[in-house]
Structure 1
Amino acid sequence: MTPSAAVRVRLAVPADIDALVPACVAAFADEVVLCWVLPDPAERATRTAPMFQALMHAAVRDDQITVAELPDGTLAGVSMWVRPTATPTPPDPAAPSAAAPPPDAPVTRRLATVTETVTARHPREPHLYLASMGVRPDQRGHGVGGAMLVHRLREADADGLPTYLEASTERSRRLYLRHGFHDHGQPLALPDGGPVLRPMWRPTSAPHHPDTTA
């Protein structure tokens, strides 16, 4: 049985945090934007775990994290979905926090560049925003990403919401096209040889096809 048939897609809960962090580290280790922000593999390996630890605590409490779970409990994929009108939950003083790099550090500047670049192009119309989605390398090509998309797009349609995202690779762009997205405006090129992000939009109730191999 392939993961696409066996995978269970659900909202992450606080009890998932310990499993979410290594799942995110594995799923996003080669993600092109993260690789641009942290180009040194050793630094990336060191910094991503505490970064995800801090991020997951807040995002899970805000019901922003959807996971794809295999029958043995392994988290095969992680995705983060944001409603721009939502008010973020205040930080939990008891939650771990990632050590912030100096304000003038290259990673700080690049993180700020990514945030400013994508925020400037966000549609003003109310929508569901797919901020990130990753699948563990050993589970790719079996429909795990497609399963998470189908799950949340059905919810978006039920709520009457269109969906917006930035595809960071041509492979992911093809996946989103198969699920009813279309290119939305000019691509966003990050500086210094960074990746090109392609804004994409899916109107509510657009047809999509769950038989993907992503």
Structure 2
Amino acid sequence: MRVRRAVPAETDVLVPAYADAFADEAVLSWVIPDPADRAARTVPMFRELLTVAVRDDQVIVAELPDGAIVGMSVWLSLADAAARHRQAAQLAEFPVEADAVGQRLAAVSDTVDAHRPPDPHVYLASIGVRPDLRGRGVGGAILAEGLRAADAEGLPTYLEASTEQSRRLYLRHGFHDHGRPLALPDGGPVLRPMWRPAPDGRR
């Protein structure tokens, strides 16, 4: 398995791979409960997300020797106030329909944004692995590569774990719980903010 940065020329391949990896993700399953509707609605959303993220060198993928992409993640370097403002502006431009799905997407965004640390950090926005290859170290390999890059920047890393299984993975990679759990409304998942200090331990 090879772990590397994604490039813009492969966006058409990345979108279905991302959809496979996140088809049963906890938060997305709450936002769009119907699997068929989820599959139809997420492809354009993922294309919008990945077009910008790959352009900005924010996507790390894991691929097999045959080139099949089996895991993906999006990392946002929020090293200063300008970077945080740019990210907020990009999210504000993201098209959201005025229906139940749009309301739940807004609830997720409002919940996590209200509790994101103000200090400079790298934000692990998402990480997913193709279902048939989970439990084989793919997620850990992607995580290690992203954390290596964060350490090279001298920045701490922040995320919200959406399952207890993912939380255990993050604990093994040096994260600790950071503040109170964040419960999404209407019986949604409980997100657990987590923080990994910078290499120098000062942040």
| Fold shared by both chains (TM-score > 0.5) | yes
Distance 1:121 1:194 in 2: 17
1:73 paired residue number: 67
1:211 paired residue number: none
Candidates 25, 28, 41, aligned match of 2:22: 28
Kindly, what percent of the aligned residue pairs are identical? 65
Candidates 174, 178, 194, aligned match of 1:180: 174
Secondary structure of the 2:166 match is helix
Distance 1:63 1:114 in 2: 24
Candidates 160, 164, 168, aligned match of 2:162: 168
Give the deviation of 1:206 after TM superposition. Answer: 8.2
Whether the aligned pair in 1 keeps the contact of 2:182 and 2:190 (CA below 8 Å) is yes
What is the 5 A alignment of 1:142-157?
142-157=136-151
1:212 paired residue number: none
Candidates 103, 120, 127, aligned match of 1:109: 103
Q: Which runs of 5+ in 2 are unaligned?
A: none
TM-score norm. by structure 2 comes to: 0.90
Secondary structure of the 2:45 match is helix
How many residues matched? 193
Q: Structure 1: which amino acid aligns with 2:124?
A: L
What is the 5 A alignment of 1:1-150?
7-84=1-78, 85=80, 86=83, 87=86, 100-101=96-97, 103=98, 105-150=99-144
Q: Which runs of 5+ in 1 are unaligned?
A: 1-6, 92-97, 208-214
Which structure has more helix as a fraction of its residues? Answer: 2
Distance 2:150 2:54 in 1: 19
Distance 1:194 1:127 in 2: 27
CA RMSD of aligned residues (A): 2.0
Give the deviation of 1:205 after TM superposition. Answer: 2.3
Deviations for 1:108-140, whole angstroms, at most 9, x for unmatched residues? 111111001001111111000000000001111
Please list every run of at least 4 consecutive aligned residues from structure 1 whose deviation after the TM superposition is greater than 6 angstroms: none
Secondary structure of the 2:49 match is helix
Distance 1:146 1:16 in 2: 23
Secondary structure of the 2:187 match is coil
TM-score norm. by structure 1 comes to: 0.85
Secondary structure of the 2:167 match is helix
Whether the aligned pair in 2 keeps the contact of 1:10 and 1:66 (CA below 8 Å) is yes
Deviations for 1:115-173, whole angstroms, at most 9, x for unmatched residues? 01001111111000000000001111111110011111111112110000000000000
2:185 paired residue number: 191
1:158 paired residue number: 152
Whether the aligned pair in 1 keeps the contact of 2:154 and 2:200 (CA below 8 Å) is no
Q: Structure 2: which amino acid aligns with 1:25?
A: A
Distance 1:54 1:62 in 2: 13
